[in-house]
Amino acid sequence: MKRAIPGTLLLLCACLAVSQTTDAPPKFDAADIRVSPKVQFPFVRTGPVRGGRYEAKQATVVDLIHLAYDIDADKVLGGPSWLEMNRFDVTAKVPAGTTPDTQKLMMQSLLADRFKLVIHKETKPLPTYALVAGKKPQLKQAEGTEDSGCKPVAQGGGGEGVMRLMMGNDNGTTTTFTLGPGGTVQYACRNMTMEAFAAGLPRMMGSQLGPNPIVEDTGLKGRWNFDVRWSVGMFGPMGQSQGDRVTVFEAMEKQLGLKLEERQVPTAVMVVDSVNQKPSENPTGTADVLPVVPAPTEFEVASVKPAEPGGRGMNFRTQAGGRFTTQGIPLRNLVNQAFMANGDQVVGLPAFADTERFDINAKAPGDAGMSPGVDREALAPMLRALLVDRFKMTYHTEDRQVPAYSLVAGKPRMKKADPASRTFCKDKPAPPGSPPGSRVLNCQNVTMAQFADRLQFMTGDFSLGVVDATGLEGTWDFTLIFSMNFMAMMPRGGGDVGAAGGPSAPPDPSGGLTIFEAVEKQLGLKLEKQKRSVQVTVIDHIEQKPTEN
């Protein structure tokens, strides 16, 4: 005999079924995950969803966690050694109408399903700075009618030799910074609370205070007017004395009567409990839903014209929608970008390649996968085709025996690493009292080969790369502090590859160590030039002027 089920129970069951369906985490319609190809400049690249297609290229699992949980990469702790080294390309089909917040939830599901990621939240002390009041703050009370904010101020007049930097803003506009003596940038801050000043300080050019928020602990209430200037890191001109260059710590204390103090602050972090190194295979049929889109090889349309005589500054950028623009870029720089080369990797350019400058306004087919910022891999073949078409460039590649840098062992002074710890080399803020332009590289559980690879991207001295010739096995922990100078990073002119014999950067007059001195004195290693075979691109012919638009 069957018993009747009460109506209230039927209703409860129905509600439970609906609840289970509603609570299911959202997922991408389809997702393709594959190991990223090796590229010269590995960094994560993402962009807005286009045609229901979402892409993240050259992404580590830490990058994917950042995208999924909206947490800074430096606040993702724990996990296996490879977490910041292995890179993946992720392409996903996104349902129409998906919001950015729902897209993050979909990435969370992807990490859990395909990488078996297990994480939890914690609060841990992380290093940052606190802004505190000194004995006598040197600030002027604001009237309250001024426009609120800190804005860069032009310095040095309009004469020759004045250095100008251009920085792209999030809204697509460009801000020009004119540097003063000592490579200083000056800000005029008006109608500012100390809370707002502390919040914006890490994002101000050249502050180099790290990614963590500044703690405001001045006790100063109300709104204030003040000016402040400090040296912009590596942009301190050669030959400047220490007295001409100002650190942000000196600026706070001597100009404003404030101080920046190091503190450990409880911070929300994400801890990786477990994760698979190899994601699960792409489901059958994924390639049909998400076919590979061939990379474009030439611009859809392009305008090339000589830059205005006397034009100031250089601008080189890509924008959403596949638009690419340059202003005042020397022909040599365009050729280097076209071959994704650095200085000595391209030879045979005539002298006019350094003096002829051009403005380009181009549009890639569709969106070309180019997000704001310069995606060198996507841009290079299109720019190369443009130079062939408009400048009649011809070229070939060959191997040459040239002097290039090798990393060799002297008397190593590094700590043996725990092989289970995370592998990384990260930039850190320079400690208070460091010379302006100081750069700090903190490396953990790295091989000498990995360190040699990283050196290539740290200064312009290593355009041909650095090879590991130390013979040191295993992994190491160490911190390297050195001083960078913009002039040492500028592309060199023509001439034979590797013609220079030895470090190109002279000692830093500010008291900092060059990369060569720091590697030897702090790590017990040496950077030496040795002959080796290097593939170079030889420019056989290139016109001084482009053909008409």
For 183, 184, 245, the CA distances from 510, given in Å and listed in that order, are: 12, 14, 7
Q: Tell me the per-residue pLDDT of 238-286, one tens digit each, with 9 for 90 and over.
A: 444 444 678 899 999 999 999 999 999 999 999 999 999 999 999 999 9
Cβ(351)–Cβ(542) below 8 Å: no
Which pLDDT does position 373 carry in this prediction?
47
Over 80: is that where the pLDDT of 362 sits?
yes
Cβ(42)–Cβ(36) below 8 Å: yes
What does 432-496 look like in DSSP terms, one character per residue? TTPPTTEEEEEEEEE-HHHHHHHHTTT-GGGTT--EE-S---S-EEEEEEEE--HHHHSPP-SSS
Helix (H, G, I), strand (E, B) or coil at 15: helix
For the chain, the straight-line distance linking the first and the last C-alpha, in angstroms and rounded, comes to 89
Residue with tokens 């209430």: 221
For 12, 139, 436, the CA distances from 19, given in Å and listed in that order, are: 10, 58, 59
Please state whether the predicted TM-score (pTM) of the whole model is above 0.85. no
Which pLDDT does position 496 carry in this prediction?
35
Tell me what the mean pLDDT of segment 524-536 comes to.
93
Tell me what the mean pLDDT of segment 456-480 comes to.
89
Copy the structure tokens of residue 261: 């103090």
Residues 6+ apart with CB under 8 A from 137: 218, 220, 256, 257, 258
Q: Which residues of 467-484 are buried (b: 16+ CB within 10 A; e: fewer)?
A: bbbbebeebbebebbbbb
Beta bridge partners of 480: 441
Over 60: is that where the pLDDT of 146 sits?
yes
Whose CA is closest to 66, among 269, 253, 283, 367? Answer: 269
d(C-alpha 364, C-alpha 433), whole Å: 47
Q: How many Cα atoms within 13 Å fall on the side-chain side of residue 260?
A: 26
For 166, 245, 257, 275, 326, the CA distances from 314, given in Å and listed in that order, are: 7, 24, 36, 44, 7
Ranking 6-15, 83-92, 199-208, 360-369 by mean pLDDT, the lowest is 6-15
Over 90: is that where the pLDDT of 62 sits?
yes
Ranking 76-80, 308-312, 464-468 by mean pLDDT, the lowest is 308-312
Helix (H, G, I), strand (E, B) or coil at 238: coil
Residue with tokens 């500010």: 510
Strand order in the sheet with 476-483: 415-416, 476-483, 438-446, 424-428
Over 70: is that where the pLDDT of 158 sits?
no
DSSP 339: T
Q: Give the dihedral sign, CA 425/429/434/435.
A: positive
Which pLDDT does position 446 carry in this prediction?
97
3-state helix, strand, coil in the chain (%, to 5): 25, 35, 45
Cβ(231)–Cβ(184) below 8 Å: yes
* Higher local confidence (pLDDT), 10 or 464: 464
d(C-alpha 352, C-alpha 543), whole Å: 10
d(C-alpha 316, C-alpha 395), whole Å: 24
Which pLDDT does position 8 carry in this prediction?
40
Ranking 18-32, 423-437, 528-542 by mean pLDDT, the lowest is 18-32
Helix (H, G, I), strand (E, B) or coil at 527: strand
Which pLDDT does position 222 carry in this prediction?
93
Which pLDDT does position 498 carry in this prediction?
35
DSSP 393: -
DSSP 253: I
DSSP 40: S
Whose CA is closest to 101, among 70, 75, 59? Answer: 70
Q: Tell me the per-residue pLDDT of 198-248, one tens digit each, with 9 for 90 and over.
A: 999 998 988 888 888 999 999 999 999 999 999 876 544 444 444 467 889
Over 80: is that where the pLDDT of 320 sits?
no
CB atoms within 10 A of CB 246: 23
Which pLDDT does position 9 carry in this prediction?
40
Q: Tell me the per-residue pLDDT of 3-15, one tens digit each, with 9 for 90 and over.
A: 444 444 433 333 3
| CB burial of residue 350 (10 Å; 0-12, 13-18, 19+) | middle
Residue with tokens 């800000």: 187
How do 357-363 and 301-306 pair as beta strands?
A: antiparallel
pLDDT confidence band for 76 (50 / 70 / 90): very high
CB atoms within 10 A of CB 338: 23
Residues 6+ apart with CB under 8 A from 438: 233, 430, 481, 482, 483, 484, 512
d(C-alpha 214, C-alpha 490), whole Å: 33
Copy the structure tokens of residue 523: 């790590």
Percent of the chain with pLDDT over 70: 81
Which pLDDT does position 138 carry in this prediction?
92
* Higher local confidence (pLDDT), 376 or 303: 303
Cβ(498)–Cβ(464) below 8 Å: yes
DSSP 141: E
Q: Tell me the per-residue pLDDT of 166-179, one tens digit each, with 9 for 90 and over.
A: 565 555 556 666 77
Beta bridge partners of 327: 315
For 246, 279, 303, 425, the CA distances from 366, given in Å and listed in that order, are: 47, 30, 17, 36
Over 60: is that where the pLDDT of 372 sits?
no
Q: What is the mean pLDDT of the chain?
A: 83
The total number of residues shown for the chain amounts to 549
Ranking 25-29, 325-329, 349-353, 502-506 by mean pLDDT, the lowest is 502-506
* Higher local confidence (pLDDT), 495 or 164: 164
Cβ(542)–Cβ(391) below 8 Å: yes
